[in-house]
Every structure is written in C-alpha cells, then in structure tokens.
C-alpha cells in the first residue's frame, strides 16, 4: 500500500507530485508529504497527517519550489498515522530524504544497531530506520548515494519500493524496488517515478518498470541507469501505456465506485472484444491457446487470490469443473503461501488479482513457480507485478479501478473465467457444441444484459434508505450465486461498516438461522437455476421466523415474490453467467447504504486499494 511519486526535470516538482499523489490516494490516505531540493541545494520536507488535500493546505504560503522532489501518501503499517510518521523521512544529518512503500521486517535489529552508533529516531516507522542506514553506510564507506543504497538494501529483509534524494544534488533521484511496484515515466528531458504508472499518465505514456532487486539512477538530462543489487547492468526497456486521463476521473459521478458500477457494460465490451467473435462465436484467448498442451494435461487447477478476486475464483471453480472436468481448488493466497501445500508440476496455478500487486498473491505465484507448476494470471493492471511473474495469462481489460470496493474487476474476472472454461472445455471435448455456442452468445450479450441490470439503481436506492438502520445483514445464495452472496456481503462491510455474512443458503439450518429476527435482513439471490426450488424453501424458512427478505430474482418471477418482502428484478442469462448480473443490484445496495450513512465510499476507513504488504 502507500503511493510514491518522484520527479526530476524542468517543471515545479511539487505540482507534479501533488497531482500524482491525488491519483495514488487509493493506495493509502492517512498522511501525505513531499520533499524538494530548492535550486540552491537546500532540502526541505513538508508533511502532515491527513489526505493530499490537507497537504496542499499545509503547503500554502510555504516555499516548496524546486525541480526535483519525491512525495508519498501513506497507509500506516509501522506507527500510527501522525505528522512524525508521515513520509518523506529525513536522515539524522538532514542530508537524505526517503519515501518508502513496503515493510522492512528486520527494522528493529537495524534500528538497535544504529542506536549503538548514536542514531536517534523521530518516528516509529521502519522507513526512518532505512534512511538512516543509508546515511550510515554512505558516511562509513565514503561512497556515492547509489552505492550506499545498494549496500544498505543488501542488509534489509522485507519488501520495498523506495526513492531517495540528497541535499545539494539537484539532478538525481535513486530508486529501488523489491516486491513493491515502481514505474519510471520517461519524458522529454524529465523523469517521473510512481507506484502506479497510471498516476502520471497525464505527463507521459512511456514507462520503464523496475524489476525486483533493481536500483535506478534517475538523473536529469542523462539516460536512465538501472542495475541489480549485485551491481550488474540491467537493460532499460521502455513500454507504452495506453490510457486516457478520462479513465482516471469521476466523469460526473459522485464517487469512483458509482462510476465503475455504471461503466460495466463498456468495461465488459472491452473485456470480450476480440475474444468472443460475433457471428462465429469462437472463443480466442491467446494465453490459453498458446499453452493448450498444458491446459489439456492439467491434473488440477488451483486458484490463488484475495478478497473479491477470491470470490470470483470460487465462480471460476464452478465454471471449470462443470465445463472442463478438471478438479479445482480455490485458496486464499495468504493461507496457501504459508501452508506448504502439495503442488504438482502438472498443476496449473491461476493467480487472480485486479491490481496485480497483492503481496500474498504475488508470493503464492513465486511459490507455485518454484514447485514447477504452470502459473497463469488473470489481472487488470497491465505491466503490474503478477502478470510479469506468471508464465502466461489473460488481462481482464476493464480499465483503472479506483474505488477501493472492487466492482467492475469482479465482473471482468468472472467473464474471463467463463471464456477460459468454454475454450478449455471445447478443446477437451467436455462440453457439447450447442452449450458452447449458447454460453458464447450469452457472453456477447453480457454488456446489454448488464445495461438492463443497471436500471435497478433507483429501486435499490430506495430499498437502501429503508435498510440503513440495520446493524447486520445475511446474504444467501447457492451454486454459482453463493460466491455472489459472499461478494455482496463484502461490499456492504467494507464501505458501510455494517456487519454482513455471506452463506450458502442451505447452511442456514446448521446454525446461522438462530440469528434471524425482525432486525436481521436477509438478501437472497434466487435466480432460476438448478437450486432455485431449494433456495425458495430456504427463503420460506427465514420468513417463518420473522426475518425480512430482499430477494434478487429474474424478470417475471412470481414464486419468490410471494415470500420475499422486496424483490429486485434483474434480466436473466445462462446460469453460469448469472453472478455477473445478480451482483449489480448488490453493488448498488452497498453503495447507497454507505452514502446514506455518510461513509467515504471511495476511501473507506482502514483500507487501501492495493494490499502490497502481508
Ligand atoms: O488487487 P487484488 O484483486 O489482488 O485485491 C484483492 C483484495 O484486496 C480486493 O479484492 C479487496 O478485497 C477489495 N477491496 C474488495 O472490494
């Protein structure tokens, strides 16, 4: 988490940094700061607790002039949000300023060692230890800043993306990364630095992505110089990032989350384009086709993911098992990586991640590769760490997702999984042609189906107002829609802070039904599928105990209507794609409840968009 930005060139660094930090605020928003070197070589730091807007206010009337600087927006790991713990951190002498994203695991040992050398610390962060370690090495070895950074990092255990500047040096930034993202934007006589290339797309479209264990010397007017921690030269490969600024703005909506819910018809069009061919209904996914033999020979598929991506993976399990007859397991990446799991060389491990930066998922990828499995990625952010660490993969191509609550990424992930399952099932001969074409056609129609589902917004908004009082919610679903229930509950929890539990409907009888009373609303997904009748019985059981029921049903349903208190009608599609449709009113429900409760929907408390720490 945390977002870092840097600039060296001919512009006012503070302006570039503030603009980048605003776009990076999704990564953390408990404090912000920047450091600049004035033209006379003086190094100044400005930082405060709060958001980037607070930092801007703090800067008013102060001299932050200079054409080189670094900035940071923080999500606290070590040390509470405070002015002192905000980045940049200065070294003891005030010669060096550093920003850091990640965790230095051995910071206590390093801090104790530095204390014996007379160092004192103003903050409780691991990052301040690192900047002092760099200064200590620089002074002990009388070496250059890049050499000091390299030597200091060789003593560090943990994850980092860092940028350091040095008093008196108005032209160079030293940056390095291990397990935390870092992109260098290349402009005309200027360089930009960011945790997320999209944050500086307004300045350049040319990027160099640092690899793990690399250090960059970024110097105004000179070619980029990248080397490994061992001192070997690294090639500098510039990649174009095709994004438009409008994709990073709210486009007239009150919140990014609302915009992202509404843009799902278009994002699904982008996701499907060129992959399911209208007319022939052929599915073409180069990541699968180029590795056809691997998929045909797979003994097992293991999904590794976190949060919403884990929920999408549970749907992937249904899709692949039913269409491809390959056994599937779905693992929380954080559990998988610490469990010494059995991984066979003929397993396929699929890492699912919107950001492509989730630390646990990235670590699971590393582990699976080590064990010899073929590792496939389903990610959104192009050029992020997971796609670069996997053997192959498919991007969901839904564009930047900025709201902390994931919405369009979920529908994109499930759509990609459906395309993969169809393609593999056809290659294996485990589905018949009729079914293949029916599902392929339904995928082509998904954008229109979602457009229809979006029309539920006003009705869901008024239901949300009625249920804003609730302190707890239960979400029920079965089969394909059990993960939808989990996802609906997660959406509500994370942005409204209402406790919500997603359950397979039949599990109610095994305990949770004891929770039912007039104060406990249940959201039941009861679309017509192979378990429809059974879900109906589960709804009856709740009704009989005085529970209030909001049901998501397909248009024309009148059976559920007899028992449920409120019904939200969505258009129908094939059973395996129903989650993509039935999640839409649940996204709205959480959004409207949260806004009626006055929550900060795009920046909910304690959360950050990318979880790049364990
Ligand atoms: O970027 P990822 O998909 O790897 O992120 C995984 C989770 O952190 C993420 O889905 C999180 O649960 C969202 N805030 C849910 O809305």
Q: What is the pLDDT of residues 182-223, one digit of tens each?
A: 999 999 999 999 998 988 988 999 999 998 899 999 999 999
Q: Based on the domain organization, do 262 and 402 belong to the same domain?
A: yes
* DSSP H or E stretch at residue 153: helix 145-153
Q: pLDDT by residue (tens digit) across 490-526? A: 999 999 999 999 999 888 888 888 888 888 899 999 9
The secondary element (H helix, E strand) that includes residue 276 is: none
Which ligand 1 atom is nearest residue 307's CA? 12
Please check whether residue 568 lies inside any domain of the structure: yes
Residues having CB within 6 Å of any atom of ligand 1: 306-309, 353-355, 358, 361, 404-406, 490, 494, 610-611
- Within-domain flag for 11: yes
Contact of 365 with 389, CB cutoff 8 Å: yes
What's the confidence (pLDDT) of residue 349? 98
DSSP 371-393: TT-EEEEEESSTT-HHHHHSSEE
The upper half-sphere exposure of residue 470, i.e. CA atoms within 13 Å in the direction of its Cβ, equals 29
Beta partners for residue 328, in sequence order: 301
The answer on pLDDT for 612 being more than 70 is no
Taking CA atoms only, the protein residue closest to ligand 1 atom 8 is 307
Which segments within 389-540 are labelled E, that is strand? 392-395, 472-477, 499-504, 522-525
Residue 433 lies in a domain: yes
Q: Which residues pair with 19 in a beta bridge?
A: none
Instruction: Answer yes or no: do 237 and 279 share one domain.
Output: no
Last residue within a domain, chosen from 246, 280, 309? 246
| CATH number of the domain within which 39 lies | 3.60.20.10
E strand or H helix at 418:
helix 408-428
Q: Would you say the C-alpha torsion 125, 127, 129, 135 has a positive or negative sign?
A: negative
Q: What is the pLDDT of residue 87?
A: 94
Assess whether 435 and 555 both reside in one domain. yes
- Residue 512: per-residue pLDDT: 84
pLDDT for the residue 33: 96
Does any domain span residue 397? yes
Nearest Cα to 421, choosing from 331, 313, 306? 313
Radius of gyration of the chain measured on its C-alpha atoms: 25
The answer to whether residues 271 and 180 belong to one domain is: no
Answer with the one of 215, 246, 277 that is the final residue of a domain: 246
Report the C-alpha gap between 25 and 199 in whole angstroms. 10
Claim to verify: residue 239 and residue 99 sit in the same structural domain: yes
**Phi, psi angles (nearest 5°) of residue 173:** -120, 135
- Measure 306 CA to ligand 1 centroid, in angstroms: 6
pLDDT in tens, 280-313: 999 999 999 999 999 999 999 999 999 999 999 9
Shared domain for 261 and 238, answered yes or no, is: no
* CATH code of 338's domain: 3.40.50.10490
- Mean pLDDT over the full length of the chain: 93
Query: Is 602 domain-assigned?
Result: no
Q: Are 189 and 276 members of one domain?
A: no
Distance CA 35, CA 45 (A): 4
Helix/strand/coil for 574: coil
Distance (Å) from CA 356 to ligand 1 centroid: 10
Q: What percent of the chain has pLDDT over 90?
A: 78
Contact 39, 170 (CB under 8 A): yes
* Confidence (pLDDT) at 247: 79
Among 303, 308, 413, which is best to mutate for testing ligand 1, by the most ligand atoms less than 8 A from CB?
Answer: 308
Q: What CA–CA distance (Å, rounded) separates 230 from 174?
A: 16
Total structural domains in the chain? 2
Q: Are residues 239 and 313 both part of a single domain?
A: no
Name the 3-class secondary structure at 171. Answer: coil
Q: How far apart are CA 12 and CA 10, in angstroms?
A: 7
In this structure, the answer to whether residues 220 and 265 fall within a common structural domain is no
Domain that holds residue 94: 3-246
Percent of the chain exceeding pLDDT 70 equals 99
Select from 403, 611, 613, 614 the residue to mutate for testing ligand 1; criterion: most ligand atoms less than 8 Å from CB. Answer: 611
- Whether residue 613 lies inside any domain: the answer is no
Kindly state whether residues 221 and 332 are assigned to the same domain: no
Residues 468-473 have a mean pLDDT of 92
Q: Is residue 606 part of a domain?
A: no
Domain boundary (200, 223, 246) is at 246
- Give CA–CA dist 140/426, Å, rounded: 65
Kindly tell me if the per-residue pLDDT of 43 is higher than 90: yes
Can you give the pLDDT at residue 566?
95
Residues 265 and 237 in one domain: no
* pLDDT tens-digit readout, 165-184: 999 999 999 999 988 889 99
Q: Compute the Cα dihedral for 500, 503, 506, 507 and give only its sign.
A: negative
Name the pTM for this structure: 0.82
Give the pLDDT of residue 1: 67
pLDDT interval class at 418 (50, 70, 90) = very high
Q: 614 C-alpha to center of ligand 1: Å?
A: 13
Band of residue 245 on the pLDDT scale cut at 50, 70, 90: confident
pLDDT at residue 249, as a whole number: 82
For the residues 361-384, what does the mean pLDDT come to?
94
Q: Counting atoms of ligand 1 from 1, which one is nearest the CA of 611?
A: 8
The CA distance from 51 to 33, in Å, is: 9
What is the model's pLDDT at position 613? 65
Largest Cα–Cα separation, the chain: 81
| Whether residues 421 and 442 fall in one domain | yes
List active site positions. Answer: 2, 609
* 474 belongs to a structural domain: yes
Provide long-range contacts, Cβ within 8 A and 24+ apart, for 556-559: 557/526, 557/528
- Residue 336 burial (CB count, 10 A): 24
The Å distance, Cα 260 to ligand 1 centre, comes to 15
Ligand 1 atom nearest to CA at 610: 1
């Amino acid at each position: 988490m945390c977002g870092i930005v840097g600039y060296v060139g001919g512009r006012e660094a503070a302006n570039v940094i503030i603009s980048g930090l605003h776009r990076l605020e999704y990564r953390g928003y408990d404090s912000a700061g920047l450091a600049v070197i004035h033209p006379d070589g003086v190094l100044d730091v400005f930082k405060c607790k709060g958001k980037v807007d607070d930092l801007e206010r703090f800067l008013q009337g102060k001299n932050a002039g200079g054409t080189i600087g670094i900035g940071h927006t923080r999500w606290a790991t070590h040390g509470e949000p405070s002015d002192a713990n905000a980045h940049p951190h200065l070294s003891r002498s005030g010669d060096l300023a550093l920003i850091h994203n990640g965790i230095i695991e051995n910071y206590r040992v390093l801090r104790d060692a530095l204390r014996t050398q007379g160092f004192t610390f103003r903050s409780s962060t691991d990052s301040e230890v690192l900047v002092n370690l760099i200064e200590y090495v620089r002074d002990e070895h009388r070496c250059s800043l890049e050499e000091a950074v390299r030597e200091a990092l060789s003593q560090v255990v943990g994850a980092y993306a860092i940028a350091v500047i040095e008093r008196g040096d108005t032209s160079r930034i030293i940056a390095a990364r291990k397990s935390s993202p870092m992109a260098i934007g290349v402009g005309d006589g200027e360089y930009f630095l960011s945790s997320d290339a999209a944050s500086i797309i307004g300045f350049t479209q040319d990027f160099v992505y640092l690899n793990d264990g690399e250090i960059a010397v970024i110097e105004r007017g000179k070619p980029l110089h990248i080397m490994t921690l061992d001192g070997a030269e690294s090639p500098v490969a510039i990649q174009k990032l095709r994004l438009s600024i409008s994709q990073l703005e709210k486009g007239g909506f009150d919140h990014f989350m609302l915009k992202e819910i509404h843009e799902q018809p278009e994002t699904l069009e982008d996701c499907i384009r060129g992959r399911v061919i209208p007319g022939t209904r052929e599915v073409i996914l180069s990541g699968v086709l180029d590795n056809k033999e691997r998929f045909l020979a797979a003994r097992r598929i293991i999904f590794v993911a976190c949060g919403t991506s884990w929920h999408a993976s549970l749907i992937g399990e249904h899709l692949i098992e039913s269409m491809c007859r390959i056994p599937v397991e779905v693992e929380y990446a954080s559990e998988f990586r610490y469990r010494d799991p059995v991984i066979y060389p003929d397993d396929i491990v699929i890492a699912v991640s919107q950001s492509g930066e989730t630390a646990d998922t990235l670590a699971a990828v590393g582990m699976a590769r080590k064990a010899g499995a073929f590792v496939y990625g389903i990610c959104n952010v192009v050029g992020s760490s997971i796609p670069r660490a996997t053997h192959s993969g498919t991007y969901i191509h839904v564009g930047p997702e900025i709201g902390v609550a994931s919405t369009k990424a979920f529908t994109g992930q499930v759509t990609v999984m459906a395309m993969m399952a169809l393609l593999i099932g056809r290659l294996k001969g485990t589905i018949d042609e009729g079914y293949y074409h029916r599902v392929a056609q339904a995928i082509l129609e998904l954008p229109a189906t979602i457009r229809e589902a979006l029309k539920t917004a006003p009705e869901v908004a008024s239901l949300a107002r009625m249920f804003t009082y609730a302190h707890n919610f239960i979400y029920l679903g079965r089969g394909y829609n059990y993960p939808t229930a989990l996802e609906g509950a997660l959406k509500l929890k994370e942005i409204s802070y209402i406790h919500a539990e997603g359950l397979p409907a039949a599990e109610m009888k095994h305990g949770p039904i004891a929770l039912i009373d007039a104060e406990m609303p249940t959201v039941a997904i009861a679309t017509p599928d192979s378990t429809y009748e059974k879900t109906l019985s589960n709804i009856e059981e709740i009704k009989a105990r005085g529970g209030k029921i909001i049901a998501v049903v397909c248009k024309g349903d009148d059976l559920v209507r007899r028992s449920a208190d409120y019904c939200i009608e969505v258009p129908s599609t094939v059973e395996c794609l129903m989650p993509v449709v039935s999640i839409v009113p649940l996204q709205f429900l959480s959004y409207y409840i949260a806004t009626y409760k006055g929550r900060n929907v795009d920046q909910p408390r304690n959360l950050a968009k990318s979880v790049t720490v364990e």
